[in-house]
Amino acid sequence: MNSSLSNKQILLGISGGIAAYKTAELCRLLIKAGATVRVAMTQAASEFITPLTMQALSGNRVHMDLLDTDAEAAMGHIELARWADVIIVAPASADFLAKICQGQAGDILSTVILASSAPLVLAPAMNQAMWADASTQDNLQLLKQRGYHIAGPASGAQACGDTGLGRMLEPVEILEQCQDLFDTGYLAGLNIVINGGPTREAIDPVRFISNHSSGKMAYALAAEAAKAGAHVTLISGPVCLNTPERVARVDVISAQDMLDACLQYTEHCDVFIGVAAVA
């Protein structure tokens, strides 16, 4: 799919509100558009939709606890803040909007937002009277002044029986607003496989035949293709290079390993670039 969200890393936040059931569909649409999605939920959100549901849809562990000993050993909330290209909070309850205005960081979602420089999209969802309240409107004006993107709300029938402004936008409408934040890369949606580096052919358990290929060309091509929106698989011989961001790396040793990996990963690719120096 040719989308500006192709290869983007999206943190999908969920606060407590009945509209949280729509977030499952939003997650599906974001992934269909080519994005990688991680989910962070408040405790209140888990009363409306289960973490297991969001984990199954996103394919990634759901972040719920700020003081998670496993994640915080590596400063999990900071890692998430740096990882995200955009943060979407849907639904954003009146309570959550107020917390963001005040710079509170009492849960994983608000803490990540405070630590991140990524664009923030807020999709408000609340009762029409709460939406119209002066405090909520003051908070919205402050959020807009800070450069945050407000998606909605829509008007219509609400779960409480009222009718008016306060309904969360439909997932496809939120998706469209998020797509407008990014330019569509000229390789968006393409699956590209690149091989690079040397191979090693064993003479015996100690010695091997190889060459001086550094792999730098393949790694540079992979980095640029990923930046242009492609989904990149890099099949690499033994080199001393870091894997480019947003690139899936497959390590091989021998020429046979390289051939097997290339046959496997090129079966469904759009473009193959061969720059490996096979020994």
Show which residues are catalytic: 160
Strand partners, 14: 41
CA dihedral 207, 213, 214, 216 (to 10 degrees): -150
**Cα gap 178→9, rounded to integer Å:** 12
Nearest to 34 by CA among 265, 270, 259: 270
Tokens of 185: 């890369």
**Cα gap 139→119, rounded to integer Å:** 18
Amino acid at 161: G
Amino acid at 100: I
C-beta separation of 266 from 234 below 8 A = no
Which element (helix H / strand E) includes 120?
strand 120-124
**Cα gap 30→3, rounded to integer Å:** 10
C-beta separation of 116 from 87 below 8 A = yes
C-beta separation of 19 from 91 below 8 A = yes
Which residues, in sequence order, are CB contacts of 213 under 8 Å at separation 6+?
Answer: 196, 197, 198, 237, 239, 276, 277
